[in-house]
Amino acid sequence: MSSTPRILVTGSSGLIGSEVSVFFSAQGCELHGVDNNQRAVFFGPQGDTRWNESRLRTQLSGFHHHELDIRDRTGVLTLVEDLRPECIIHTAAQPSHDRAAAIPFDDFDTNATGTLNLLEAARRFCPEAPFIHMSTNKVYGDRPNTIALRELETRWDYADPAYESGISEDFSIDQSKHSLFGASKLASDILVQEYGRYFGMPTCCLRGGCLTGPNHSGVELHGFLSYLVKCNLEERPYTVFGYGGKQVRDNIHSLDVARFMWAFFQKPRTAEVYNLGGGKDNSCSIMEAFALVERLTGKKQIWNYQETPRIGDHICYYSDLGKLRGHYPDWGISVSLQETLREMVEAWDRRLDR
């Protein structure tokens, strides 16, 4: 490894990509970010990430922006051949399972084919470089909803003691409803594993829960906590889809995601899969999130309710972090849910005042 490792980050203007860029830059790395603001195409002006691109260009020395669509196979091959990075961190994606149904070709071409383009470029030009893929817990489809649940006052929780610590990596990904987004991300997940196993490349898939933080451009179709905070501050209604608003997510700050990626970069493994979320301690239901945000802002959350849940939505999901902590015992959750929400409230306050 060179004294100044060259790191390629796709989706560098997004939540995770930007956090990774800042974190790795602070460790003395040379960052090359790939982003073409496709989030604004997927979600409209509210999804625009140019502000984040500008922040990285301004604040990080040694950051190089590449205006490239990962669906551009020739462009991806050329860039990786020229850079020959010492690590590829792949966070670019079409991230919404709701939006995927309306744009199935764009969804699959971005999530599956875009990942294949990057993997093949890595195999040809830098096969020894760790390839870190931001996957999703949606690869499990709606199978988590088959676990016996119990309804509590403000949330659903697992009734089966086998899932006391959450869902682990050996949970089945088969024969369930994934949404088209879940299917395209599962295709990319399997590809990353296979390039690791078949070609002996150091790869990992990080099956994220709710990845969040102050630099998230949250919209209704993606970015649960960020969008909820924004609705609270703007005093406009947040729509709850089914399950009494008691559906549970585990939430992990983007900094802790970046910290784990750094740990993997330092000690890579082959064809690994990790459920990377906040775990049970950083989980909350929508109703619990309302209460937490209200305490921070002093504003009552306005919301409305639709009885029909979103297709394939998890009633309860939080990650079992046991495997991940076993392989990387120095890593752990460093930012609590309460601190994450406080940062998000402050960030949205600043952005909404612009």
- The DSSP element (H or E) to which 204 belongs, if any, is strand 203-208
> Alpha-carbon distance 103 to 110, whole Å?
11
Q: Give the contacts of 262 (CB within 8 A, at least 6 positions apart).
A: 23, 24, 27
> What band does 256 get if pLDDT is binned at 50, 70 and 90?
very high
Q: Which residue has the tokens 């950051």?
A: 63
How long, in residues, is the chain?
Answer: 354
The predicted pLDDT at position 97 comes to: 79
**What is the arithmetic mean of pLDDT over 117-122?**
98
The predicted pLDDT at position 219 comes to: 77
Q: Are 4 and 240 in contact (CB under 8 A)?
A: no
pLDDT above 90 (res 216): no
The predicted pLDDT at position 224 comes to: 85
Q: For 288-342, what is each residue's pLDDT tens digit?
A: 999 999 999 999 999 999 999 988 889 999 999 999 999 999 999 999 999 999 9
The predicted pLDDT at position 337 comes to: 96
- The DSSP element (H or E) to which 211 belongs, if any, is strand 210-212
Coil, strand or helix: which one is 127? Answer: coil
pLDDT above 60 (res 237): yes
Residue 41's DSSP bridge partners are none
- What residue type is assigned to position 280 of the chain? K
Q: For 269-301, what is each residue's pLDDT tens digit?
A: 999 999 999 999 999 999 999 999 999 999 999
- The DSSP element (H or E) to which 334 belongs, if any, is none
Among 29-33, 78-82, 157-161, 220-224, which stretch is predicted with the lowest mean pLDDT?
220-224
Virtual torsion, Cα 275, 91, 89, 138, nearest 10 deg: 20
Q: Give the contacts of 249 (CB within 8 A, at least 6 positions apart).
A: 209, 210, 224, 283, 284, 285, 314, 317, 318
Considering only CA atoms, which of 93, 37, 46 is closest in space to residue 67?
A: 37
The predicted pLDDT at position 315 comes to: 97
DSSP designation for 273: E
Q: For 127-148, what is each residue's pLDDT tens digit?
A: 999 999 999 999 999 999 999 9
pTM here is 0.95
> Alpha-carbon distance 134 to 180, whole Å?
17
CA 277 to chain CA centroid, nearest Å: 9
**β-pair type (131-136, 149-151):** unpaired
Domain spans in the chain, listed from the N-terminal domain onward: 6-352
pLDDT above 60 (res 64): yes
The predicted pLDDT at position 354 comes to: 54
**β-pair type (248-253, 238-241):** unpaired
The predicted pLDDT at position 255 comes to: 97
The predicted pLDDT at position 44 comes to: 86
- What residue type is assigned to position 306 of the chain? Q
What letters, b where the CB count within 10 A reaches 16 and e where it falls short, cover 143-163? bbbebebeeeebbbbbeeeeb
Coil, strand or helix: which one is 175? Answer: coil
pLDDT above 80 (res 83): yes
Fold held by 6-352: Rossmann fold (3.40.50)
